Structure 1
Amino acid sequence: MPVAPLTRRLVPLSLVFIVVGLGVSFVGPYLALFLTDAVHADPLHTTAFLIVAPISGVAVSWLIGRVSDRRPIRRQLLIAAALAGAAGAGLTAVLRNYWAVLAVTMTLTAVAGSLFPQSFAYARQVLQQRDPGRAAFAISALRTLFSAAWVGGPPLAALILAAHGFGWTYGLAGALYLLGALLIVTLLPRVPAPVTAAAEVHAHGGREARPIALFLIIASFTVISTASTLNVQAMPLFVERDLGGTISQAGLVLGICAALEIPMMLALGALSTRIPVRRLIYAGVLCAVAYHAVAATATHVWMLAAAQLLQAMVISTVGALGISYVQDLLPAHPGRATTMVTNTFPMGQILAAPLFGLAQHFDFRLAYACNLLLCVVGVLLLVASGRVRPAAAANRPEPALSASY
């Protein structure tokens, strides 16, 4: 299939990713600040909100992901999610009652959260029809656009917040969601009804992952995501209090990682056309172990800065290639597969919260020691998943997922 028709499909979707990424990055980093300064929530209510919000997002995205694989309604779901995001951000711009904001977050904002995985699922369906061999590269390229939006979004939102307050910040986020809905309506065509599971599995050589293997893989991704989240949360305080650095140096360290992610995602996506994605993910998980070993023993800020190459590898593999990998394991269910991977991010946020509190009470170096242990567990879970045979090959003696994918 020529590249041009595929490009005509993915360029509009790329615009959607940029717009949605900007909308999320405008408000995501400042949610706790919004709850404290604008809603005047106490620490207990703020903590409860920060736990309930990702849980509701995970539940809603999971339900939508299952529905999306059964009927040809993925484009309609993208439109509905974008409109829900616009409504949710618009209401949050004017509401200042804690319970009202929480209700909006658990409903409209939770529905808007499905826009991210459903966009990847839409891309997967397009690639299955046009160029399945380049699926991992295309998914990684789209993931870089979301990362790029997060490079510029938070600083711009900070300027708007300082000049005009939360009303403008959330209002502009709502406008970006509306623009995303308009782009979907005008530029993205409908995708056909999902192929039956039997036909899709047959098209992939008769390989189908068993539920236990999927559980182990998603559990591995979840603990790696938990470590990455705790890394970001603890970095400023670890640099300032344990390494004798400054907050600006901590920001520089995190910025180095973000800058390395984008070219690395593209390079690994291209490499995935020649090297099995699972091997690249193994490399990423091992890099997670190496990174947190360095961080847990670091004595100078420059050591953390140099180690960001390892952390960028983690995000570029588990965070980007992990999507196409699980989609390959569930070829007939791209919506459910993508949702399983993207839900590991909010689950990581939930699991990281008590570990951050523990490190805050004792020592921030403890956060990286906990991360090191989590990443070792992640490696063991991934290795265990490779020992589970594909469903169609359960009665044959050849190796399982580790050799097949």
Structure 2
Amino acid sequence: MTTPSVTARRLPDMTSAAFLLVAFLTGIAGALQTPTLSLFLSTEVHARPMMVGLFYTGSAVIGILVSQLLASWSDKRGDRRTLIFCCCLLGALACVLFAYNRNYLVLLLVGVLLSSFGSTANPQMFALAREHAEKTGREAVMFTSILRAQVSLAWVVGPPLAFALALGFGFTFMYAAAAVAFVLCGALVRYYLPSMPKAALKTIAPLQAPRRHRRDALLLFAACSLMWTANGIYLITMPLYLVHELHLPEKLGGVMMGTAAGLEIPIMLLAGYAAKRLGKRSLMRLAVASGVLFYFSLLFITAPLPLLLIQLLNALFIGILAGIGMLYFQDLMPGQAGAATTLFTNSTRVGWIIAGSFAGGVAELWSYHAVFYTALAMVVVAIYCVWRIHEAPARAEESAPLAELLPEKADNGGLPLP
């Protein structure tokens, strides 16, 4: 006969398993859609390159507004479980709209709004997981790191799977699969995640200007924004460049993105351990130098195997940026951890807004290949910014916790898309 104490010990395990599944499925839902979005808009909606870029820019702006509104509401009043459940349902509805609608304006005005709610489910799940860990006495850092690893895993398998579904069965089937993932998430959230109404997330703080090292913090913000812009340009342009100009298999784009995502995880971990000996400035210089080599190589490499091999440079570029960038901000802004994290997050959002405009405009005027010159220029300017930043003062916790090193793919690299 099962005693109450045994049952009490088993219930948190079931809840933890539900958190892991929700993290993976929401990651899969995003990873199924974002990598193929530019190809979908081009081939299914027949949008011109300029309109494709505008779609990304509009998506980023709408996503920022929705995520900030929901974050503020949930921290002050709301039950996160109810909010996550509703976001999952709205995300599924957005997927259904993308599956059966091919009107550009409807997708931009209605579809993006619905999908912005869907993309908020993942970060809200992380907030609820932290509250659950603190309430039950679990190690919050390790629990959060495991959840983030699930999202990273989703982004390893998601892009190749997305292209396989879209090319093998059609975009309608792919978006239907994403809708199923959201529905499964909603069921897990409704029946297995804990309810904690009106719980405030302690890590959210109002945006503040840096009290110290303002020049360096501004240079770092500019550098990170430019680096994220280059990455956004690459993600928007690469699927279309492979198909329309290199005439390579469409699925190669998914394999390239999955390869880079898989390499980013160990690079982030290694960067965290190397930060104590080499310093964060040196690692950021390595990242931006890798970015220059990567985007320079894209201008001349046209064969599938070399394109896959240079994903190591891309992984160094993004892996170090995602793992060390936030910590560098925190070092430059001691006592302002919340504001520092917000600055880093905003750099990803600014990058996506700029990327949409440049990717669409340059491709419309010249070619998809020419877009990579723009990305290379962004990284070259980022080099200038990074080289002018001073080394951050040492912190007591030089060895960064695992949770800070693993990527939060929940926001799709800051892109609030379907």
For the residues of structure 2 that align with 1:192 and 1:46, how far apart are their CA atoms? 40
For the residues of structure 2 that align with 1:178 and 1:118, how far apart are their CA atoms? 17
Q: What percentage of aligned pairs have identical amino acids?
A: 28
For the residues of structure 2 that align with 1:249 and 1:154, how far apart are their CA atoms? 10
Is the 1:225–1:348 Cα contact (8 Å) retained in structure 2? Answer: yes
Which residue identity is paired with 2:194?
P
Q: Among 187, 194, 197, which residue is 1:189 paired with?
A: 194
Q: How does 1:357-368 map to 2 (within 5 A)?
A: 357-358=361-362, 363=370, 366-367=373-374
SS in 2 for 1:211: coil
Which residue identity is paired with 1:376?
I
Counterpart position of 2:395:
403
Q: Among 110, 119, 129, which residue is 2:125 paired with?
A: 119
For the residues of structure 2 that align with 1:161 and 1:296, how far apart are their CA atoms? 27
For residues 152-190 of structure 1, the C-alpha deviation after alignment (integer angstroms, 9 at most, x for no partner) is 223333333334433222222111111111111222213
Unpaired runs of 5+ residues, structure 1, are: 202-206, 387-398
How has the CA–CA distance of structure 1 residues 105 and 118 changed in structure 2, closer, same or farther, with 3 Å as cutoff?
A: same
Is the 2:45–2:102 Cα contact (8 Å) retained in structure 1? Answer: yes
Which residue identity is paired with 1:69?
D
Unpaired runs of 5+ residues, structure 2, are: 1-8, 398-418
Q: How does 1:156-175 map to 2 (within 5 A)?
A: 156-175=161-180
Counterpart position of 2:148:
143
For the residues of structure 2 that align with 1:133 and 1:378, how far apart are their CA atoms? 37
Counterpart position of 2:58:
52
Q: Among 337, 348, 352, which residue is 1:349 paired with?
A: 352
How has the CA–CA distance of structure 1 residues 284 and 306 changed in structure 2, closer, same or farther, with 3 Å as cutoff?
A: farther
Return the offset for 1:4: 9.4
How has the CA–CA distance of structure 1 residues 194 and 313 changed in structure 2, closer, same or farther, with 3 Å as cutoff?
A: farther
For the residues of structure 2 that align with 1:29 and 1:73, how far apart are their CA atoms? 32
For the residues of structure 1 that align with 2:184 and 2:103, how far apart are their CA atoms? 27
Q: How does 1:134-283 map to 2 (within 5 A)?
A: 135=141, 138-191=143-196, 193-194=198-199, 210-212=208-210, 216=218, 220-232=223-235, 254-265=257-268, 271=273, 282=281
Counterpart position of 1:19:
25
For the residues of structure 2 that align with 1:281 and 1:403, how far apart are their CA atoms? 11
SS in 2 for 1:190: coil
Is the 2:284–2:325 Cα contact (8 Å) retained in structure 1? Answer: no
For residues 273-316 of structure 1, the C-alpha deviation after alignment (integer angstroms, 9 at most, x for no partner) is xx77x987645522322202433665778887666445424433
Counterpart position of 2:382:
375
For the residues of structure 1 that align with 2:196 and 2:188, how far apart are their CA atoms? 16
For the residues of structure 2 that align with 1:165 and 1:237, how far apart are their CA atoms? 17
Is the 2:98–2:175 Cα contact (8 Å) retained in structure 1? Answer: yes
Comparing 42-51 with 374-383, greater Cα deviation is found at 374-383
Counterpart position of 1:92:
98
Q: Among 63, 73, 95, which residue is 2:69 paired with?
A: 63
Which residue identity is paired with 1:291?
S
SS in 2 for 1:29: helix
How has the CA–CA distance of structure 1 residues 119 and 315 changed in structure 2, closer, same or farther, with 3 Å as cutoff?
A: farther
Return the offset for 1:367: 3.8
Return the offset for 1:378: 5.6
SS in 2 for 1:69: helix
For the residues of structure 2 that align with 1:196 and 1:152, how far apart are their CA atoms? 31
Return the offset for 1:254: 5.0
Is the 1:229–1:352 Cα contact (8 Å) retained in structure 2? Answer: yes
Is the 2:18–2:192 Cα contact (8 Å) retained in structure 1? Answer: yes
Comparing 162-171 with 51-60, greater Cα deviation is found at 162-171
How has the CA–CA distance of structure 1 residues 342 and 174 changed in structure 2, closer, same or farther, with 3 Å as cutoff?
A: farther
Is the 2:90–2:118 Cα contact (8 Å) retained in structure 1? Answer: yes
For the residues of structure 2 that align with 1:8 and 1:337, how far apart are their CA atoms? 35
Counterpart position of 2:37:
31
Which residue identity is paired with 1:15?
L
TM-score (norm 2): 0.69
Return the offset for 1:113: 2.0
Return the offset for 1:20: 1.1
Is the 2:36–2:239 Cα contact (8 Å) retained in structure 1? Answer: no
Which residue identity is paired with 2:123?
P
SS in 1 for 2:106: helix
Return the offset for 1:218: 5.4
SS in 2 for 1:103: helix
Cα RMSD of the aligned pairs, angstroms, is 4.8
Return the offset for 1:377: 5.4
